[in-house]
Amino acid sequence: MPVETLSALIAELRSAEVSPRPADEPWAAMIERMHVPGRVCEIDEETYDWFLECLPPKWMGAGFAFAEGAEPLKLFWKNAGRHFVRQLTWDETQTFCRLARIPLPW
């Protein structure tokens, strides 16, 4: 059944399996890990802040959505002092943008 609200979509996206953050993970390995669609990746606060500040977010609400040009969104959020990101697929990005009433990333 398709989701009909942004909050329902966000809840569904956040419920995926979590890829824990390895200790002393190098930047390149973390970037590679967080670009795999379909899973939630735990990240550190520094990485969360870097993505929040490097470009204006495409969406802000319960977290933020990031895209660098015409690519699927990455959804970032915090929970209980931990930081997470999920790489969306193009279909998920289209649904997110429709429900959030924002333009597709270009």
Per residue in 30-57, pLDDT (tens digit) is: 999 999 999 999 999 999 999 999 999 9
pLDDT of 3 reads: 80
Of 15, 28, 24, 5, the residue nearest 75 (C-alpha):
15
pTM of structure: 0.93
